[in-house]
Amino acid sequence: MKINVNGKDHTVSVNGNPSLLEVLREQLDLTGAKYGCGEGACGACRVLVNGAPVASCIMPAVNLQGNPIITIEGLEKNGILHKVQKAFLEEDVFQCGYCAPGMLITAVALLDRDPAPSKEAINSAMQGNICRCCTYPLIRKAIDRAIKNGENHEKAGVER
Amino acid sequence: MKKPVLKDKGMFPEQYELLERTSSPVLSRRRFFKYMGTGLASFLLVSDVLSSRALANLGADERSIAEDTIAAWIQIGEDGKIKVFTGKVEVGQNIRTSLAQMVAEELFVPVKDIEMIMGDTRLTPYDRGTYGSLTTPQMGPKLKLAAASLREMLKELAVQEWSLGKGSLQLEKGYIHHPNNGKRLSYAQLANGKKLLRKVDEKVSLVPSGEWKIAGTSVPKINGMAFITGKHRYTSDMVLPGMLYGKVLRPPTYGARLKNIDTEKARNVQGVTVVQEGDFVGLTAPDSRTAAMALAIIEAEWHTVPQPGREDLFQLLKEQGETKEGDQEVEDMLQAAGAVLEQRFEIDYIAHVPLEPRAGLAEWTGDQLTVWTGTQRPFGVQEELQRTFQIPKDNIRVIMPDTGSGYGGKHTGEAGIEAAKLSKAVGKPVKVIWTREEEFKWAYFRPAGVIEARSTLAQDGKLAAWDFHNFNSGSAGIDTPYAVKKKNSQFHASESPLRQGSYRALASTANIFAIESQMDDLAFLRKMDPLAFRLQNLEDGRLKDVLLATTEAFGWTKAKPTEHGYGLACGAVKGGFVATCAEVQVEPGSGNVKILRLVTGFECGAIINPAHLKSQVIGCVLQGLGGALFEAVDFKDGKILNASLSAYRVPRFGDVAEVEVVLLDRKDLPSAGAGEAPIVGVAPSIRNAIFDASGHKINRLPMLPTGKVPV
């Protein structure tokens, strides 16, 4: 089966009905998306599917034909960080960093949908992502920074 | 007298606190040196935490490693890159950054010139493990001495090279400048593979904290870019050529033993190899999906044995707790006193829930074993592997890539050992990643406990008698920091129905919860302001300072709406001094409790990295919210009933209160660790704020599993 990841087509095996996460990590060696819970409850495995943040651990890979996927590895474009990555780097957010890929993907999807979300909208969008080190206030600051810096950057997403 | 619990449920370092009151006298410094032989001056820094029990477990090679040379800790490459070696590991405390800062400061080089080699049993000096907030106070000074000794040695070499007398040389960015002719020599030129075996000079002068230029500043996380681009490879992300995915069969309940097993169907799955050694049954497959499916079709029958449930937990811990003779004088004072405050506290088990579950990758090359695994104790895992395979320790290399957190929950090496067993059997590299369910069920928990406390005041409002007993949860933080005329604090080991071990700040969280609840209730009985009451009974100046700074930032004396409550708590843990003030709202009709604001003051000596310290404090406070309010492990008949992230609630974005951090920088004091202490004030400050708002005393952790106080 063919899937499109980060703008490239890949032929992958779907024997045994693997999850998208398993395909990304084990067949394409894209290990940015993480396993955290296996039930879509922690956000560590999130990737963008048609621009929406999706829990790849519970998404069967067979559902994804013709649906472009962006992983954390695909946010950087021509060596230039995505504005959300840049903001997270500048705020020096992370401790262990394991939640980072999922956090960034969710934040990218949020700001693509709503460039100036309210505090409540941020809470609601990020509620599905666990940072067990509990750096939540720093993550919020990074999102606020990305919003502020937002106007000067092009929109990221599936159209690339 | 009942014997202390010593049976092997996995006793990990730090868990020594569950034993120390009954056994393992702490070794004296003198005896340590005798035992260790000669030439090990650099061990001085760690000697105090080693018990004789732990020492007895050290192998002969560890007792004779000469780690007093500069080369054991720092080496300069021909490219000028400086490699620093430490057995400590990075699980999100950002010590890769802070240790590099400390070395950079002494060597006058930018942080970017330093590469930290961490937690590799082949490359780094032996280290007992990364726990107990010991990295900053123990490894920091050790590396600073090595770096400063190296610096002085380089200066000597430059003096020789230029045939100078004594004079002042200027050091900058990896170069030593000639005092007057404009020439300079790089550290790489000077070192050139020479003389790094010189001993670390324990008396070398260090850069005074008042002159720090790199230490004391907010250097960003080293490799921060790798984490936000998804490029960092955790153990669970690593791949070796020909690698297989491993899974292990788990019993359906704790204590179950295998009766019958039929693995034929699994063996018939293409690419699957089943490995069975007694009760250990595992398999490998070319991908994790196939491995999981093959595991599911193994048919096994088990002998089960009855197991206690959560409903019996606290009764059990108390009943099976060791009995100890109390203090008769304290008893007499309490009997004679007019009013005695007597309370019982119950502490549930909680889970660490590191977001990266246990993972191990193993590869055998002949009789040489290499294991990559996320553990806080790579050298401990090396010992576990040695015991498992009965091969020389020199044949085993354990490497710890920067890992997806631990919080005290990764002192062991289960996944690495399982991967090594499977790899040995199938002759290929094998990776084992635990599922979230496995992590919940087969790792270990923060101990549950029962605390019983009695206290009474003298006429002048000062603490007169204090009797405090902790059953099972641990002895860390059991001693009250307040001045008491006569006190008795005792830890009673008990039989834990679940596997338990270290957790961030150990039992300090439980003990300080009970101590600070008592203090608040005594203040109330005395009709005194909780802050004034504490100050009246407190002698420690550092704790007083942090309490005052925190209450001032919080606005302790400011008026508040009627439904709101203020609460405070303080404590001294692992060299750090912390106070937390909480503001809560309790809705009179529904009993709903909202945590509105948490202000935490923290002082841990001279601050190495203010931004990362602040982040640690925030992380402690918010992680502490979980155990304070709603986290609890539910279990029955040998099963964990909430072994998933949809059933076991951890703090999320919506739970985050307004958090403020006040850091006190004491440049005049040695730096202490910060990953643990700031967690301890959260629960008691909220408990006391709820009492202030509603009159409800909640003497259990978690306090609000339903989010409400009873109405």
- Angle CA(B457)–CA(B463)–CA(B466) in degrees, nearest 5? 95
Q: Do B615 and A72 touch (CB under 8 A)?
A: no
Contact B457, B464 (CB under 8 A): yes
Task: State the pLDDT at residue B281.
Answer: 98
Task: State the pLDDT at residue B199.
Answer: 86
How many other C-beta atoms can be found within 10 angstroms of the C-beta atom of residue B426? 18
Residue of B nearest to A142 (CA): B228
Q: Can you tell me the distance from the alpha carbon of A39 to that of A22, in angstroms, rounded to the nearest whole number?
A: 13
Residue of B nearest to A91 (CA): B220
Residue of B nearest to A136 (CA): B653
Q: Do A126 and B650 touch (CB under 8 A)?
A: no
Query: And the tokens for A52?
Result: 């929406």
Q: Do A135 and B615 touch (CB under 8 A)?
A: yes
Nearest to A22 among B229, B289, B615 (CB): B289
CA B698 to chain centre: 27
Instruction: For residue B78, give the nearest of B192, B224, B197, B240 by alpha carbon.
Output: B192
Nearest to B645 among A39, A71, A138 (CB): A39
Task: State the pLDDT at residue B198.
Answer: 81
Per-residue pLDDT at B503 exceeds 70: yes
Q: What percent of chain A has pLDDT over 70?
A: 94
Contact A100, A32 (CB under 8 A): no
Beta strands in B269-338 (DSSP E): 273-277, 280-285, 299-303
Q: What are A50-64's pLDDT values in tens digits?
A: 999 999 999 999 999
Q: Does A100 touch chain B (CB under 8 A)?
A: yes
Per-residue pLDDT at B54 exceeds 80: no
Alpha-carbon Rg for chain B in angstroms:
27
Annotate B338-359 with b (16+ C-beta within 10 A) or e (fewer): eeebeeebbbbbbbbbbbbbbb
**Using 50, 70 and 90 to split pLDDT, how confident is the model at B39?**
very low
Q: Can you tell me the distance from the alpha carbon of A63 to that of B650, in angstroms, rounded to the nearest whole number?
A: 31
Q: What are B612-634's pLDDT values in tens digits?
A: 999 999 999 999 999 999 999 99
Contact B197, B68 (CB under 8 A): no
Give the contacts of A114 (CB within 8 A, at least 6 positions apart).
A121
ipTM over 0.90: yes
Q: What percent of chain B has pLDDT over 70?
A: 90
Q: Do B646 and A136 touch (CB under 8 A)?
A: no
Q: What percent of chain B has pLDDT over 90?
A: 85
Instruction: For residue B219, give the nearest of B83, B138, B109 by alpha carbon.
Output: B109
DSSP A17: -
CB pairs under 8 A between A and B: 171
Task: State the pLDDT at residue B193.
Answer: 64
Q: Chain B contacts of A101, Cβ < 8 Å?
A: 230
Instruction: For residue B498, give the nearest of B5, B4, B3 by alpha carbon.
Output: B5
Chain B nearest C-alpha distance from A16 (Å): 7
Residue A70 pairs in a beta bridge with A48
